[in-house]
Amino acid sequence: MNAPQNPKAGLGALLTPDNCALILIDHQPFQFAGLRSHDTQTIINNVVALAKTAKTFGVPTLLTTVVEARGGYLIPQLQAVFPEQKPIDRTFINTWEDARVVEWVKKTGKKKIVMAALWTEICLAFPVIHALGEGYEVYIVTDASGGVSVEAHEVAIQRMIQAGAVPLTWMVFGSELQRDWARTATLSDMAKLMLEHMGNVGTSYTWEQQLLATPPPAK
């Protein structure tokens, strides 16, 4: 008798540029004002890097805000990655209750949905749990999301994992899409992301490039 297949294991469980879509939820000034699980600059760095990664690999990406007239426009660093896209502005706290969002997802044809949001415990947890209940495979980018406290963020992640979500971080997302260093079409963009958004990894890479480019001393 064959054991039942675990959909979260095996090659098919990994993300590819062709099998997923990304939703970025409520990275707005009001939400950043209440952020206490991470420092603001870290989340800005990570969500912008996440968006750039999706753009590099052609992953369909949706930007959303909630009551932007009160909570503020999407942060300009993130909007600049997709300057042509007007974020869907909602009144629903739960993004998945907005029919425009669900319709966008259906049009992509993707069943693997990657999400990041402020705040983790509300604006991420609600749509994640809802989408899981409708049969989608949902991946949560924990380091591009944040809550009003460390406890709120961590408990929300536990809750989503219990519901079936898969946690990952922004660089794992990029590495999973790249998968093979022989795929040279995206290598330069990946290197640029490393330099701009990976902190000490980026500076070490710059140093390595310097050393490789330095001629040996003359004898």
Give the DSSP letter string of the chain.
-PPPP-TTSSGGGS--TTTEEEEEE---HHHHHT--SS-HHHHHHHHHHHHHHHHHTT--EEEEEESHHHH-PPPHHHHTTSTTPPPEEES-SSGGGSHHHHHHHHHHT-SEEEEEEBSIIIIIHHHHHHHHHTT-EEEEEGGG-B-SSHHHHHHHHHHHHHHT-EEE-HHHHHHHHH--TT-GGGHHHHHHHHHHHSTHHHHHHHHHHHHHHSPPPP-
Annotation marks residue 123 as catalytic: yes
Pick the catalytic residue from 66, 78, 81, 123.
123
Per-residue tens of pLDDT for the chain, all 219 residues: 566 678 888 998 999 999 999 999 999 999 999 999 999 999 999 999 999 999 999 999 999 999 999 999 999 999 999 999 999 999 999 999 999 999 999 999 999 999 999 999 999 999 999 999 999 999 999 999 999 999 999 999 999 999 999 999 999 999 999 999 999 999 999 989 988 998 888 788 788 888 888 887 877
pTM above 0.95, yes or no: no
